[in-house]
């Protein structure tokens, strides 16, 4: 085997291991992990250890691939019932809000850098998109109100689509025609969403009816359908970023076989993509140039953080009755990360004027303001009174198909808040062809009887025929929410976070 390839493989493995350990270090230090990954890339680069890397085209290609995986994971792990009420707010924020941010940040760039309006708006567009990886990994551990987290997650998943279209248009040499550009933007977003929905439902239909020979193939196939959504949208000249996120959202909220394993696999892929992407971006930058752009990067970042983002929130939330405290937190939590840096490689590869300086400014802006915002988010949430616990009442249901028997095995975990606690097995009133066959309690398993009480923390194994599988799961969810009298209270268990 080629010795150079072996060395590269060893370095790659060590980088991934260092990146995995950096997650724990960043948690202890209160630093966003992306900063450690970027720092690792800079350390490996030509200015320190000496690895030379300056291929912006390759970085752009690999960066887009990584963003596809990150957006797919974001969609797969987003619960529809938790975010559906935030959809109108998030759509407005990721369109009108992005437009306001581009104009304000673009004006600040013109004043701070003395560039023309096209270059200024290009820089404003590059930094206007919040980062899905930063938002998904940072916010889910803060215990925020559901609608705040939902708005930020959906916004970060949706706003990449319009931004990348605008960045490509502003980076090209073509004369901009506003009506044509607007029509193209609308087409790409609508077509991308439609392709994502179609691919998501197609994937769910195929996976539920496929008898794959190994359980590990289901996660691979699920992610493959998400990637296929991006590719299909790109071929149709639609928004691939929107398509992959929407496809992931549909698939993640469908009752897929081995769903928990699929989400774990997607999460691992997303972490690997983040590590590789941030290290690659750190390698691409030249530290010797960064000091020269520190002041303009801070000025533009302050304009973005203190003017553009608040104005975009005011404009977007005007039609929604969102308390000012939540608006203030939404404004501060508009985290930037790898997405703006990846988008900054587009002008470099297109040969736009001042593209290299623009890339350096974006890199410094992301590092400085991720450090400021990421480390202060918990404190800001407490000061504004939006921090707290957001417990879920939902049981966890993992299914595994038993194809040869025409049956399904459901693994049900009872959370502490569930009203399944204290219910007798007979009171579940499952369909005739479904039965609780095993209970695992405090590490010990036993076969339950009709008079066995279910307790919080129990794990149940339920065997059902394929025909009554959905009815059995709905009944379990209904009792978990409303107790043994769920049916009398009108609870049917259908609108659940794990279902479409």
CATH of the domain at 459: 3.30.70.1450
Same-domain status, 330 and 422: no
Give a yes or no: residue 439 inside a domain: yes
Does residue 265 have a pLDDT over 50?
A: yes
What is the Cα–Cα distance from 92 to 162, expressed in whole angstroms?
A: 12
Query: Residue 399 forms beta bridges with which residues?
Result: 410
> pLDDT at position 134, please?
64
* Band of pLDDT at residue 227, cut at 50, 70 and 90: very high
Question: Final residue of a domain: which of 384, 407, 426?
Answer: 384
pLDDT of 273-319, one tens digit each?
888 888 888 888 887 788 888 899 999 999 999 999 999 999 988 88
Torsion of CA 476, 389, 155, 257, to 10 degrees: -30
Please tell me the predicted confidence (pLDDT) of residue 404. 57
248 and 172 in a single domain? The answer is yes
- Residues 246 and 166 both lie in one domain: yes
What average pLDDT does the chain have? 82
Classify the C-alpha dihedral 167-173-176-177 as positive or negative.
negative
* Residue 102: inside a domain: yes
Assign residue 180 the CATH number of its domain: 1.20.1530.20
368 and 260 share a domain? yes
> Can you read off the two tokens belonging to residue 491?
């609870």
Mean pLDDT score, 384-403: 63
Tell me which range, 151-155, 164-168, 241-245, 415-419, is most confidently predicted by mean pLDDT.
Answer: 241-245
Q: Do 430 and 292 share a structural domain?
A: no
* Helices 309-317 and 324-332, axial angle in degrees (round to 10): 140
Q: Is the pLDDT of residue 271 over 60?
A: yes
Q: In this structure, is residue 391 part of a structural domain? A: no
Residue with tokens 């290609």: 61
Residue at 497 is within a domain: no
Is position 236 within any domain? Answer: yes
Q: Are residues 107 and 152 in the same domain?
A: yes
Residues 365 and 426 both lie in one domain: no
Same domain assignment for residues 345 and 437: no
Last residue within a domain, chosen from 331, 354, 384? 384
Indicate whether 98 and 140 sit together in one domain: yes
**What does the pLDDT read at residue 27?**
60
CA end-to-end span of the chain, whole Å?
49
Tokens of 155: 């916004």
Least confident of 136-145, 168-177, 379-388, 414-423: 136-145
Q: Which residues contact 422 (CB under 8 A, 6 or more apart)?
A: 453, 454, 455
Distance, in Å, from the CA atom of 301 to the CA atom of 310, rounded to the nearest integer, reads 13
Same domain for 371 and 403, yes or no, is no
Residues 266 and 291 in one domain: yes
How many independent structural domains does the chain possess?
2
Which residues span the domain enclosing 460? 396-482
Domain final position from 349, 384, 419: 384
Residue 389 lies in a domain: no
474 in a structural domain? yes
Residues paired with 45 in a beta bridge: 51
Same domain for 372 and 465? Answer: no
Pull the structure tokens for residue 70: 């990150």
Judge whether 268 lies within some domain. yes
Q: What is the mean pLDDT of residues 98-107?
A: 92
């Amino acid at each position: 085997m080629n010795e150079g390839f072996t060395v590269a493989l060893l370095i790659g493995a060590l980088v991934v291991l260092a990146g995995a350990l950096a997650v724990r270090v960043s948690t202890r230090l209160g630093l966003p992990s992306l900063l450690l990954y970027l720092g690792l890339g800079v350390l490996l680069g030509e200015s320190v250890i000496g690895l030379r890397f300056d291929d912006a085209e390759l970085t752009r290609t690999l960066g887009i691939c990584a963003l596809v995986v990150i957006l797919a994971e974001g969609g797969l792990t987003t619960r529809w019932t938790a975010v559906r009420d935030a959809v109108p707010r998030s759509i407005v924020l990721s369109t009108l809000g992005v437009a306001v941010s581009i104009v304000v940040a673009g004006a600040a760039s013109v004043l701070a850098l003395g560039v023309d309006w096209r270059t200024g708006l290009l820089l404003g567009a590059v930094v206007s998109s919040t980062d899905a990886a930063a938002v998904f990994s940072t916010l889910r551990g803060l215990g925020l109100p559901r609608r705040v987290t939902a708005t930020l997650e959906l916004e970060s998943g949706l706003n990449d689509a319009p931004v990348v279209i605008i960045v490509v248009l502003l980076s090209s040499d073509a004369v901009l025609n506003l009506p044509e550009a607007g029509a193209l933007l609308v087409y790409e977003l609508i077509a991308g969403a439609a392709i994502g929905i179609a691919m998501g439902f197609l994937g769910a239909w195929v996976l539920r009816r496929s008898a794959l020979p190994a359980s590990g193939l289901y996660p691979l196939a699920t992610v493959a359908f998400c990637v296929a959504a991006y590719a299909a949208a790109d071929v149709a000249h639609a928004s691939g970023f929107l398509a992959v996120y929407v496809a992931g959202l549909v698939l993640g909220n469908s009752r897929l076989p081995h769903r928990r394993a699929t989400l774990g696999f997607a999460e691992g892929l997303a972490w690997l993509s983040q590590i590789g992407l941030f290290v690659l971006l750190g390698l691409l930058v030249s530290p010797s140039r960064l000091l020269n752009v520190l002041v303009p990067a801070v000025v533009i970042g302050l304009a973005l953080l203190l003017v553009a983002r608040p104005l975009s929130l005011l404009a977007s939330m005007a039609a929604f009755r969102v308390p000012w405290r939540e608006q203030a937190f939404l404004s501060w939590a508009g985290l930037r990360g790898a997405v703006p840096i990846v988008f900054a490689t587009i002008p470099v590869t297109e040969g736009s004027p001042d593209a290299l300086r623009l890339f350096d400014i974006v890199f410094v802006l992301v590092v400085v303001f991720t450090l400021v915002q990421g480390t202060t988010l918990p404190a800001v949430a407490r000061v504004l009174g939006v921090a707290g616990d957001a417990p879920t009442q939902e049981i966890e249901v993992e299914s595994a198909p038993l194809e040869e028997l025409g049956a399904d095995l459901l693994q049900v975990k009872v959370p502490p808040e569930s009203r399944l606690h204290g219910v007798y097995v007979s009171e579940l009133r499952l369909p005739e062809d479904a039965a609780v066959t095993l209970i695992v309690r405090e590490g010990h398993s036993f076969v339950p009887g009709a008079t066995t009480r279910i307790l919080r923390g129990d794990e149940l194994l339920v065997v059902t025929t394929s025909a009554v599988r959905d009815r059995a799961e709905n009944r379990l969810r209904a009792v978990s929410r409303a107790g043994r009298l769920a049916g009398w209270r009108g609870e049917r268990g259908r609108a659940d976070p794990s279902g479409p």
